[in-house]
Amino acid sequence: MPHPLHLFRHCPRCGCDAFGENDERSKRCASCNFVFYHNASAATVAVIIDEQGRLLITRRALEPAKGTLDLPGGFVDPGESIEDGCLREVMEETGAEAILERYLFSLPNTYRFSDFDVHTTDAFFLVKIKPGQKLRPNDDAAELFWCEPHRLSPDDFGLQSIREGVRRLLPMLSELT
């Protein structure tokens, strides 16, 4: 297994090519002593359930896992709280304003992007769409649809953390409405 920063060959501070492995998740520059750690990125997942107990599903418009099922969510921006990141992602992917109800759980994920494994910690939140909002797919959501829990198969979800999250959610969904 290659070092998680194997694609990083030059120090981001001084540009030196003496940027070598420091430990299992960091690299150190031999010239300026800058140390860069490969830490997990924060990401969010919105669990949105309507009055009929159906779960809002998206279809991924982009790689990774283009065309597979997903739940609304994504990366938290720098300077943004994880809660604000969740609500922003819901707005970006559905066009709807939402209300964060409560935190549910978190799961680790590896998100392959630009031939690089981005390790994330995905925080799942119960979210409600504000009344009167019209949903429309946008950003990296190609499609939005409501699905009854008994019709869901975790294996239809393309990202590992979402598959595992749906497995955890299925027995809980009736209690969350």
76-81 long-range contacts, Cβ below 8 Å, gap at least 24?
A: 76/41, 76/42, 76/43, 76/44
Q: Which residue has the tokens 């609500």?
A: 87
Q: How far apart are CA 130 and CA 63, in angstroms?
A: 29
Catalytic residue among 97, 143, 164, 175: 143
**Cα gap 12→163, rounded to integer Å:** 35
Would you call 63 a catalytic residue per the annotation? no
23 φ, ψ (degrees, to nearest 5):
-155, -165
- Residues composing the chain: 177
Q: Give catalytic residues, as residue numbers.
A: 143
